[in-house]
Structure 1
Amino acid sequence: MSETMKLKRATYHLWTFTISKLIASFGAQVYAFAVSFYILQLTGSATSFATNLICSILPRTLVAPFAGYVADRYSRKTIVITAQIASTLAIGGLLAVSVASGISLVAIYITTAILAVTSTFSGVTFSSSITGLVDEARIQKAMSLNQMSISFAAIGSPAIAGVLYGTVTMPVFLMMYMSASMIAVLLESTMNFKLFARRKEVVEGEPKESMLQSMKAGLSYLRLQPVVMAIIWISLFINFLFGAFMVGYSFILIEKMKMAPEHFGFTEGAFAVGMLLMSIYLSIRKEVKFPLLVGKRGIIGMSLIMSGIAFPLIIAMPYPGMVVYYATLMFSFGLIQIIVNTPMMVMMQKMIDDDYKGRVFSILETMAMALMPLGMVLYGFLYDVLPAQWILIVSSLLLIGVVLVLARPSVVRMAHPELDKTKILKTKMVQEQ
């Protein structure tokens, strides 16, 4: 295939990938909204609601390492399509149960667990396939469009789900989600996952690695990539320490500040709008030159925003000013999160060998998913026994300390050796003047 044809095909992939992810994100979020409402209306039990969340988080944590092995070992296109078909069949199964005998909690829990497994396989494999689907120059554009689709879904799905939930029955809901999932399968089947791939060909007669050997090889590869290891450790600490934000934000605004639900929704919407605008900006601008340096500064900014949530607890604010303050804070948080995530993911896409991407991304997902519930449980306990403002301030200071240590100047220079050249050039220019 000629280079021009490959670039045209990559452009097609950009938009097919974005539309597919948009459909999948919309469907998943609308389903989550509907099922959450249904469980709470049916049982009125927080325990039943939490059980459904566990059915979503636990399977992802358990299967992510296997998803990485499979993504590196087998055809990525086959995995993505199989995962999407399995999602469609899971929704179809829940639909059949609901028509035959009415939806039960057990049926919902099983479906949620299956969807968690399929989305893990699909997500890890898609993350591993970006450099095979699009040319290197447009990796940032692809990652930004992916974030845009997630942001669109975050903004639009609650409103659409709310309208649909009040007007259609649960079986109709499920039929719509099933139809959307089938469209995603059709779109994904037209994509060439090997267009720019640089994976090693399997040699006939060569002994095959076992799953355990493959995972060990992935860990050994990571040990030889100090910059990637630093990014993974930073991600782990962010996921753990941001439990202070994830638990504390709702607790402070709803319980402490007595904010009305519509105003609370407005502040959360500001976060999604910030993400969307920054994703659009990054999709049209040149690639970020020093992503680890930008990410380091961005995480410090996110830490300061996290401590800023405590400000109205220390100094009283009028109610309208408080709503505007938190909306501005969340909008800024959405902007900075994309500034941190997208360039860092682009850098990892370029640094990690195609043959190891599945295992590296699955290790990242496993460890992040494992620490997230732990952080939320710990901070849930801390918010019950300690002043909220000090939890947020101490957590933000810890996060700043972690980033300054793990992304210290020597690590940043290792990731971006050209920084030294830029400094030497600037010094020469100053001396000449």
Structure 2
Amino acid sequence: MNEEQKYKKATYHLWTFTASKMIAMLGSHVMAFGISLYILAMTGSAMSFATNMICSVLPRALVAPLAGYVADNFSKKRTILLAQAGTILTVGGLLLYTETVGLSVYAVYTATVFNTICSAFSGVTFSSAIATLVNPERLQRAMSFNQLSTSVAMIGGPVIGGMMYGFFEMDAFLMVNMVAYAIAFCLEATMNFNLYSTRGEDVKKEKMWEGLKGGFHYIKQQKVIKTIMWVALWINLFFSAIAVGGTYIIIELLKVKSTHFGFIEASGAAGMLAASLYFATRSEVKAPLRFSKISLLLLAGSVGLAVIPLITNFSYVAIIIFYLIIYFIFSIFEMGINMPIGVYMQKNITEEYRGRVFGLMETMAMSMMPIGMMVYGMLYDTLPAIVILPVTSAIIITLSLVLLRASILKEAHPEFYERKIVTESVTN
């Protein structure tokens, strides 16, 4: 295949995986919306709802390293298609159970666990495959489109689910999910996951334990990648202050109506969509880690500002407008952190280890979420929010300055800083 043919195929990949991801995620969000309402309507228990959330997070965190090993040692295309098929079969099994026995909470928990495991394998494998699907010059655009599809699904899923809930039974939500994943399966079956692969045909497969140890050893040897993983770990821990505190402050302390809070959360998805479009249309960031550091510092500052309505006499309308803007900004800065780092990792992690690195990173990041939620849940019960958020903001700023210090940035982008020194010397 010559370069022109590869470029055309990469263009096809760019649009095909965006469409497949958007359709699959849309089906997933519609079903998740329906299941959430079903659990609350049937049990009236927040604990039952929380249990289903745990079933959708914990299994993924546990199996992500294994998914990374599989992505690095077996066919990426086959792994993704098997995972998608697993999702279709799981939801189909839940639909059959519902039609014959009746839907139960425990059946939902079981299906959620299996869906989460399948999602871990397809998600980690897809993340490790983006650099082999498109040419290096379009990596940022590909990742932006990937995030754009997620943003559209986050906005559209609850809207479609809300319209369906009043007119259809639970089995309709399950069928929407199955159809969406079936379409995604057909689209992904047409893709060449080795288009820009640099691996040879005769790469020896590692045994599972050796492969996992190899992934840890590779990360240990890569100073910049190791730093990025530590940043991801601490970000997911400390930004639980907003995941937990945002809802608590807006609804419990400021007494904002749940319908208006829905608009506030939607503004976050809109911010993600706007940032995705920005990165899809601009040239690639020259110094990704430097860009991410600036975005992280701005996001940390925004966290501290989120307490302003608690210490001022804002009107009800002003409170809503303030948090609409804050949540929009949060998402933009979050994308400013994730997108450049994601492109950097795609380009600088050796293909043989890419799946394991993404898998281990996902495990580290996701394992911090429940810990952070538990810690901040206790903190908000004992300390005022006007203390928690500014202190958290200061901690994140300090961590950003320490972890992403100048020596790390220079090691990650030596050519950028050398060019900058040359330019300054010429100017002077």
Contact 1:413 1:420 survives alignment (8 Å)? yes
Answer with 316-325 or 91-100: which moved more: 316-325
Q: Does the alignment pair 1:377 with 2:386? A: no
CA deviations 1:347-396 (Å, max 9, x no partner) are: 00000011100100000001111111000001001100001111111111
The alpha carbon displacement at 1:69 in A equals: 0.6
Answer with 243-252 or 306-315: which moved more: 306-315
Q: Does the alignment pair 1:295 with 2:289? A: no
| Percentage of matched positions with identical amino acids | 47
Q: Which residue of 2 aligns with 1:58?
A: 58
Residues 28-427 of structure 1 mapped to structure 2, 5 A cutoff? 28-202=28-202, 208-427=205-424
Aligned-partner Cα distance in 1 for 2:24–2:385: 36
The alpha carbon displacement at 1:56 in A equals: 1.0
Contact 2:80 2:125 survives alignment (8 Å)? yes
1:50 is matched by which residue type in structure 2? A
2:259 is matched by which residue type in structure 1? E
Answer with 314-323 or 384-393: which moved more: 314-323
Structure 2 residue runs of 5 or longer lacking an equivalent are none
Q: Does the alignment pair 1:14 with 2:14? A: yes
Answer with 414-423 or 255-264: which moved more: 414-423
Contact 2:73 2:206 survives alignment (8 Å)? no
The alpha carbon displacement at 1:327 in A equals: 0.6
SS in 1 for 2:166: helix
The alpha carbon displacement at 1:242 in A equals: 0.5
Aligned-partner Cα distance in 1 for 2:209–2:173: 41
Aligned-partner Cα distance in 2 for 1:331–1:132: 32
The 4+ residue runs of structure 1 with deviation greater than 4 A are none
CA deviations 1:136-176 (Å, max 9, x no partner) are: 00000000001100111111111110001111111122112
Answer with 167-176 or 156-165: which moved more: 167-176
Aligned-partner Cα distance in 1 for 2:277–2:124: 23
Aligned-partner Cα distance in 2 for 1:109–1:202: 42
Aligned-partner Cα distance in 2 for 1:57–1:200: 35
Aligned-partner Cα distance in 2 for 1:75–1:165: 39
1:329 is matched by which residue type in structure 2? I
Aligned-partner Cα distance in 2 for 1:351–1:285: 21
Aligned-partner Cα distance in 1 for 2:377–2:22: 32
Q: TM-score, normalised by structure 1?
A: 0.97
Aligned-partner Cα distance in 1 for 2:262–2:206: 50
Answer with 272-281 or 231-240: which moved more: 272-281
Aligned-partner Cα distance in 1 for 2:303–2:243: 10
| Alignment root-mean-square deviation, CA | 1.1
2:26 is matched by which residue type in structure 1? F
Number of residues of Structure 1 aligned to a counterpart in Structure 2: 428
SS in 2 for 1:167: coil
1:107 is matched by which residue type in structure 2? A
Contact 2:31 2:176 survives alignment (8 Å)? no
The alpha carbon displacement at 1:244 in A equals: 0.6
Answer with 124-133 or 192-201: which moved more: 192-201
The alpha carbon displacement at 1:209 in A equals: 2.7
Contact 1:68 1:360 survives alignment (8 Å)? yes
Contact 2:132 2:194 survives alignment (8 Å)? yes
Aligned-partner Cα distance in 1 for 2:30–2:383: 36
The alpha carbon displacement at 1:249 in A equals: 0.1
SS in 1 for 2:377: helix
SS in 2 for 1:151: helix
Aligned-partner Cα distance in 1 for 2:149–2:385: 34
2:286 is matched by which residue type in structure 1? K
Aligned-partner Cα distance in 2 for 1:364–1:200: 26
CA deviations 1:309-360 (Å, max 9, x no partner) are: 1111122211111111111111111111112111110000000011100100
The alpha carbon displacement at 1:419 in A equals: 3.0
The alpha carbon displacement at 1:191 in A equals: 0.3
Aligned-partner Cα distance in 2 for 1:106–1:424: 62
Q: Which residue of 1 aligns with 2:26?
A: 26
Aligned-partner Cα distance in 1 for 2:409–2:251: 40
Contact 1:62 1:366 survives alignment (8 Å)? yes
The alpha carbon displacement at 1:125 in A equals: 0.1
Contact 1:200 1:355 survives alignment (8 Å)? no
CA deviations 1:283-319 (Å, max 9, x no partner) are: 1111011110000010011111111111111222111
